[in-house]
Amino acid sequence: MNFFRTPAWRMAWREARASAPKFLFVVFGVAAGVGALTGVRGFSAAFHDSLKREARTLMAADLLIRQFGEPTEEQEKVIAQWEQRGARLSRITETVSMLAGGENEPPVLVSVKAVDPATYPWYGRVRLEPEAPLATALNAETIAVSEDLMLRLNLEPGSRVRLGDAEFRVWGVVRLEPDRMTGSLNVGPRVMMTREGLQRTGLLVFGSRASQRLLWKLPAQGARIEELRDSMRKTFREALITDYRETHPFITRALDRATTFLSLVSMIALIVGALGVAMAIHSHIQQRLDTIAIMKCIGARSAQIIRIYTLQAALLGLAGGVAGLAVGAAVQWAFPLLLRRYFQFESLAWSASFAVEGILAGLLVALLFTVPPLLAIREVKPALIFRREMPETKPPLRLRLRRLLPSAGAGALILAGLGAMAAWLAGSVKTGAWFAGGLTAALALLGGIAWLLLRALRWLMAHAPVRLPLWLRHGVANLYRPGNHATSILVSLGVGVMFTLTVYLVQNSLLKEVMVAMPKGAPNVFLINITPRDADAVREFLASRKDIDGRAQLVPTVAARLEKVNGTPLDELPPPPGEEQRRRRNFTRQVTWMQAMPEDMRILRGAWWSDGSREALQSVDENTAKRWGIEPGAVLEWSAAGRRFEARVAAIHRFESVRRGASDEFVFTEKALAGLPVQYYATARVRPEQTAVFMRDSFRRFPSVTVINAADVVNIVQEVVDQVSLVIRFIAGFAILAGAIILASTVAGTRLRRVRESAVLKTLGARRRTLVSIFSVEFAILGGAAGFLGGALATGFARLLMTRLLDARFDPEWRANLVTTLLTMALAIAAGWLASLRVLSHRPLEVLRDE
């Protein structure tokens, strides 16, 4: 038989059509969840595709090498060999420095990128404003900057600025940089210049730690990418090497993690939408009890009737899924805007493959949640048809408990279904199980507390010491009327609020933690890239300052790499545990020398050297020593600046406090590092109100010294955290939206009842104002309670996360909770009135006559 001619389909379709206005809201609720999910996953897939498709443009090359420090002589030889074979190289140097607009302006920390405009980029293009080819715009005297720097320093094309030892003219704004994503971390606004220009600044001296990027382009014929990559891997042992065949590992890893996380957040929105479907179907079935009873009278089995309403639930889920595609497309469009600060997308193809996934997810979750109300159809007594009050025989306890079994089974099925879906989205069974379990616990907790709250409210109203106004009493009483589902609405709205606020509270606490982590009296200003030439002058400068508390410290650092322990190359030593340690052991470290033993160091074995020691000695941190089996007396061989040197281990130490700056692992005597290229850094505690002046004065005297204000770093961290949490809250917002839609849906479902009540109240003398107050009280309580509960639980979860998981402090933010409660209240009132728009406009007689 043709499915669309079966009674089940006909009834399901026609009932759904007849109930379309009331189901519309529910469809939107599901659409919110599906939209968030398809938006996140579609964007992620499109991003992945873009990374693959645009790989060459995104790295502006066929193969990219990134390392700190210029290539060594040996590396340059290999480069030359490849160039002879027709491969072409473009070099980029990236560093941070200070740039000042005017004489009296405090300088700004900027990310400098020095390129060769004749060759960069190999793929894609840099777009400047005013428009011009890069080779025309940039020369040794000019720079291009990002828009935020223009705004911050009030610059225009033609303005003059100072960077290091040199002055430059600003060409204009960098609008598009194809390889921005694959560059170094951008800690400040962008300054793009030529390599000759960078030379003029004097910022780069031998040993300074700028990031070097080598961009290779292979000829169409000839050497293959695999060969080039193998050669580069052997030659550039410490470098990050990636080519266009793979997407950038850091980016894809971050993208995958973000996708998983946001998918699970979207699932919360989807579940709220599905709760709405369940509530709507439950109400719908309640309103159709007569129909169900008739059908049982004329021969329908429960299964046949359940089929009809399952089809309706499926139609709702499907409609929501399809509507969700439009929402998802909008979300995919919004993401690049949210992330434009860090990622630039020329174009992002809309991914259709996740459309099917989203629709199926909407359908599945809607069906799962409607299992309990559908099962209740079996309990509908056909004797209901006689409309007589037939007192029920109270069934024995055993029978009542047995009747609960299907509901318990349905609950278990829902939990399993959610867990499976979460596991599929997260790509991990464990994550799926935790998510489903955690969410269910949160929903159950929210539901339980909501129920208690409503009961408490009811009790309070009944036992109020004074007679409360009519509109307040009726408004509260409306919450308990049949069909109002107040508890479910509280849960739906509350869960979205809870999640969004938890993100906000954790974000704020983390930032406070970062700021508080600076102990009182700790340095708040760091001066880096101090050359040996400037070291004494900087020391004098710092000593002469009146705005520094305590003594400023100047610390020497040398970039060196450990090669052998007691004659055994590192590669031949037993590997340390954990991949991270394995990766790090061949890396160049920043090491330092000290003659006097620092106060916060404790010697565990061996002995510290005397102040005037002329031996090449070192002290090793206890954990490092344990890892590589180093004891006092061991001889370690190092390489630095193309030279090899040895130092004997004199002591094994432990630092008692957390230190910043050079590695804590190895400390040398001055003799051990003599003759090696040195850079200094200094730390100082500058009075916060004087930092701007300090930075200006320092820049005037030492333009090549970069001054980092800890407060600025915190601001940058804050910006990044803000950005991340903005994206999370954007997606979590869909859960709140779905909750508001559910509220509107339930209000719409009780429309008829409200119309009747309004007609009766008007007949008895109630003015419009009174009716508005009654309804508003009802919506306000729902929204306020949801906001309050969501906020309270968010505070609880945030405390749990911060104290247990992150081992950090947490202070409740009562103001945030209050604002959340008020906003949710406002949202609920708006949603409720949207669904009640025409209720008050009916004339009493026309309503009562229809009765």
Using CB under 8 A, list all residues that contact another protein: 1, 5-7, 10-11, 14-15, 18, 290-291, 294-304, 378, 381-383, 385-388, 390-394
Q: Which is nearer to another protein, 7 or 222 (CB)?
A: 7
Q: Is 435 exposed, middle or buried (0-12, 13-18, 19+ CB in 10 A)?
A: buried
Q: Which is nearer to another protein, 287 or 639 (CB)?
A: 287
Least distance in angstroms from the C-beta of 394 to another protein: 4
| DSSP 8-class letter at 96 | E
Q: Which is nearer to another protein, 9 or 261 (CB)?
A: 9
Look up tokens 């790090």; give the residue.
Answer: 584
Q: Which is nearer to another protein, 214 or 293 (CB)?
A: 293
Least distance in angstroms from the C-beta of 176 to another protein: 58
CA end-to-end distance (rounded Å), the chain:
41
Least distance in angstroms from the C-beta of 18 to another protein: 6
Q: Which is nearer to another protein, 378 or 687 (CB)?
A: 378
Q: Which is nearer to another protein, 7 or 569 (CB)?
A: 7
3-state secondary structure 330-360: HHHHHHHHHCCCCCCCCCCCCCCHHHHHHHH
Least distance in angstroms from the C-beta of 752 to another protein: 15
Least distance in angstroms from the C-beta of 319 to another protein: 18
Least distance in angstroms from the C-beta of 419 to another protein: 32
Least distance in angstroms from the C-beta of 751 to another protein: 18
Q: Which is nearer to another protein, 388 or 849 (CB)?
A: 388
3-state secondary structure 210-229: CEEEEEEECCCCCCCHHHHH
Helices (H) and strands (E) in the chain, counts: 26, 21
Rounded distance between C-alpha atoms, residue 138 and residue 116, angstroms? 9
Closest CA to 268 of 495, 497, 41: 495
Least distance in angstroms from the C-beta of 293 to another protein: 8
Least distance in angstroms from the C-beta of 387 to another protein: 8
Least distance in angstroms from the C-beta of 11 to another protein: 6
Look up tokens 């949801």; give the residue.
Answer: 786
CB 684 within 8 A of CB 523: yes
* 224: number of Cβ within 10 Å: 9
Rounded distance between C-alpha atoms, residue 448 and residue 48, angstroms? 42
Least distance in angstroms from the C-beta of 303 to another protein: 8
Look up tokens 């493959």; give the residue.
Answer: 353
Enumerate the H helices of 54-194 as residue ranges: 55-59, 73-84, 134-137, 147-152
Rounded distance between C-alpha atoms, residue 68 and residue 202, angstroms? 18
Least distance in angstroms from the C-beta of 41 to another protein: 38
Q: Which is nearer to another protein, 86 or 395 (CB)?
A: 395
Q: Which is nearer to another protein, 556 or 749 (CB)?
A: 749
Question: Strand locations in 694-767, DSSP E?
Answer: 706-709
Least distance in angstroms from the C-beta of 753 to another protein: 19
- Kindly write down the DSSP assignment for every residue of 555-620, as one continuous string: EEEEEEEEEEETTEEGGGSPPPSSHHHHHHTTSEEEEEE-SSPPTTEEEEEE-PPPTT--S-EEEE
Helix axis angle for 768-800 and 814-835, nearest 10°, is 140
Report the amino acid identity of residue 762: K
Q: Which is nearer to another protein, 199 or 304 (CB)?
A: 304
CB 124 within 8 A of CB 226: no
3-state secondary structure 637-664: EEEECCEEEEEEEEEEEEECCCCCCCCC
CB 191 within 8 A of CB 159: no
Q: Which is nearer to another protein, 7 or 86 (CB)?
A: 7
Q: Which is nearer to another protein, 230 or 290 (CB)?
A: 290
Q: Which is nearer to another protein, 288 or 485 (CB)?
A: 288
Q: Which is nearer to another protein, 234 or 387 (CB)?
A: 387
Q: Which is nearer to another protein, 14 or 551 (CB)?
A: 14
Closest CA to 626 of 605, 647, 612: 605
Least distance in angstroms from the C-beta of 380 to another protein: 10
- Contacts of 828-831 with C-beta under 8 Å, sequence gap 24+, read 828/493, 828/740, 828/743, 828/779, 828/780, 828/782, 828/783, 828/784, 828/786, 829/776, 829/779, 829/780, 829/783, 830/740, 831/740, 831/741, 831/743, 831/744, 831/747, 831/779
Q: Is the peptide bond before 106 cis (omega within 30 degrees of 0)?
A: no
| DSSP 8-class letter at 140 | T
Contacting residues for 509 by C-beta, under 8 A, at least 6 apart: 798, 802, 808, 809, 810, 811
Least distance in angstroms from the C-beta of 317 to another protein: 20
* 553: number of Cβ within 10 Å: 14
Q: Which is nearer to another protein, 58 or 380 (CB)?
A: 380
Q: What backbone phi and psi angles, to 5 degrees, belong to 674?
A: -60, 140
Least distance in angstroms from the C-beta of 748 to another protein: 20
Least distance in angstroms from the C-beta of 818 to another protein: 47
* 333: number of Cβ within 10 Å: 13
Report the amino acid identity of residue 600: D
| DSSP 8-class letter at 423 | H
Least distance in angstroms from the C-beta of 378 to another protein: 7
Q: Which is nearer to another protein, 309 or 471 (CB)?
A: 309
Provide the token pair at 450: 């909501």
Q: Which is nearer to another protein, 5 or 467 (CB)?
A: 5
Check the CA dihedral 112-116-121-125 and report its sign: positive
